[in-house]
Amino acid sequence: MASNLFKLTVNDYLEGLPEATQSKLYQSPATCLAIFRLLPNLAKFYIMTMIFNEKPVRLLDLDTWVKPQKRAEQVEGIRSIKSLHILKDNGEVAVLNPKFRENLKNVLTGVDIGVSFGAPCETEDSNKVDISFLDTYASNKWETILHFMVGTELNEFPSKGVLHLLRHSGLMTGGTPKAMVITNEGFQFLLQDVNAQIWTLLLQYLRMAESLQMDPVDVLNFIFMLGSLELGKDYSTSVLSETQLNLLRDLKDYGLIYQRKDSSKRFYPTRLATTLTSDATTLKSASTAMSQVIKSATTTTTTSSNKGNTSGSQESSSTAVSAASSTIENAGSIIIETNFKLYAYTNSPLQIAILNLFVHLKSRFANLVTGQITRESVRKALLNGITAEQMIAYLETHAHPQLRKTAEEVYQKKIQYDANTNEKFHLIQPNITDQIKLWQLELDRILTWDGYLFTDFSNEEEYQVLQSYAEEIGVMLWCDHNKRKFFVTKEGNAQVIAYANRKLRKGK
């Protein structure tokens, strides 16, 4: 379960729901909008084209709307809305799910959406809070959880519900809060961006909720409603169901929601909640900068590596530069030199803690930590279950703009020198990335299997019979025809011996 924890996105979860549950979800306009926002672009395009069209659309027409070279994206888009049962076809014509269509139409035109987008409070809050307060509140809550996971000394532990969920999702193990330790999955969790982290926990929560007989439709509706609320406004709890009130209490622990008192009749969504279904960036904090950079870096690196050695690479590199420069203000902070020395311009204890997972940190200044990547530090991380790829990805996504700029310049020069170069774009110096990968390989320099070596055969025929039998049943790992020796696994040994007794005794 835990290994595919992060691959499973909310879309996959929704697609995996039974059709009946999905139809129930489409009863809520806010949910329709949220699901729409989560869809791939081409799927959005199809829905938009069909939404005001009363008649069914011929399947062949769907193809003509998309350029042939984008076929892969089209297939993906159609697949996703089909498995969500938003698009239905009978082999010839396609229609949208009527409920979904009606509700999304209502949302877009702003009629008859009821309270599914939350009920704003009628009266003024005497203890009104502003957006910056909410931001601080949310990042405090969320980072407390992350800090707890990396084992920072804390004055207070996260709430019981949070601890339970961390344990349930396999991110941490251990009985008492003090004894809880992070698992390999937990390490990988830390390397995700904030939005993915929240969704990971929410999906775990949903699974737990199902076993607690909570209605997933209720839970999802509430989560999606949160995604469409306005930051800085207060909403009334009066329209929420019993399940949703429970959920509200739990979500406070994650910093998604602020309530002054537990008994309060109003609640404020925080930025963590309102950005659940959007691309907009979450908190202005180190972890946000992290997620922002991850997003921009993944798009830029994919464009430059995809086009790689074609003439289009110059164009893509320039977009990469502009994308990189747009994130300069709050972007990456890590400079790594070819001598494995690392400088990180950060004062976020969390980022430092994450770096500490695989870097030997040496000194800390007001806005800078310095360290060194050593064999030992990387091995420690590898033994903790962090892969070389993850470390490299972390370095790449948090690379300092200056580092990126230099790498771009070097790459540009190479292209100018030889336009057909096969060289790929390296953000991090190849000697660093290669070495980290080598250290990973070094961990398993030898492969061993327990088993038996069959040797001292008296004649060629005996050897042939047994060796070919062992090979046939797939238990032979090694053989040497000249020396008449072969090695079988522990599991296969009994079979081979039984066969030998049958065959060879009979011959005598």
* Smallest distance, other proteins to C-beta of residue 398, A: 22
Mark residue 256 as left, alpha or beta (left: phi above 0; alpha: psi -120 to 50; beta: remaining). alpha
Q: Which is nearer to other proteins, 249 or 379 (CB)?
A: 379
Q: Which is nearer to other proteins, 111 or 446 (CB)?
A: 446
Buried residues in 56-79 as b, exposed as e (16+ CB within 10 A): ebeeeebeeebeeeeeebbeebbe
Mark residue 22 as left, alpha or beta (left: phi above 0; alpha: psi -120 to 50; beta: remaining). alpha
- Residue 9 CA to residue 447 CA, distance in Å, equals 35
* Smallest distance, other proteins to C-beta of residue 365, A: 18
* Smallest distance, other proteins to C-beta of residue 375, A: 5
The Cβ-side half-sphere exposure at 331, using a 13 Å CA radius, reads: 23
Contact 278, 198 (CB under 8 A): no
Q: Which is nearer to other proteins, 328 or 383 (CB)?
A: 383
- Residue 154 CA to residue 175 CA, distance in Å, equals 18
Q: Which is nearer to other proteins, 243 or 377 (CB)?
A: 377
* Smallest distance, other proteins to C-beta of residue 501, A: 11
Write out the two tokens for 448: 């061993």
Task: Report the side by side order of strands in the sheet with 334-336.
Answer: 334-336, 341-344, 369-372, 360-364
Q: Return the number of other C-beta atoms located less than 10 Å from residue 469's C-beta.
A: 18
Q: Which is nearer to other proteins, 157 or 457 (CB)?
A: 457
Contact 163, 180 (CB under 8 A): yes
Task: Report the side by side order of strands in the sheet with 87-89.
Answer: 57-58, 93-96, 87-89
Q: Which is nearer to other proteins, 48 or 438 (CB)?
A: 438
Q: Which is nearer to other proteins, 270 or 467 (CB)?
A: 467
State the Cα angle at 201 between 218 and 39, rounded to 5°.
65
- Residue 248 CA to residue 237 CA, distance in Å, equals 9
Q: Which is nearer to other proteins, 206 or 497 (CB)?
A: 497
Q: Which is nearer to other proteins, 240 or 369 (CB)?
A: 369
* Smallest distance, other proteins to C-beta of residue 506, A: 15
Write out the two tokens for 66: 């998309």
* Smallest distance, other proteins to C-beta of residue 341, A: 9
* Smallest distance, other proteins to C-beta of residue 334, A: 18
Give me the residues that bind other proteins (CB under 8 A), please.
339-340, 360, 372, 374-376, 442, 445-458, 462, 466, 477-478, 480, 485, 487, 493, 497, 500
* Smallest distance, other proteins to C-beta of residue 370, A: 12
Mark residue 474 as left, alpha or beta (left: phi above 0; alpha: psi -120 to 50; beta: remaining). left
* Smallest distance, other proteins to C-beta of residue 369, A: 16
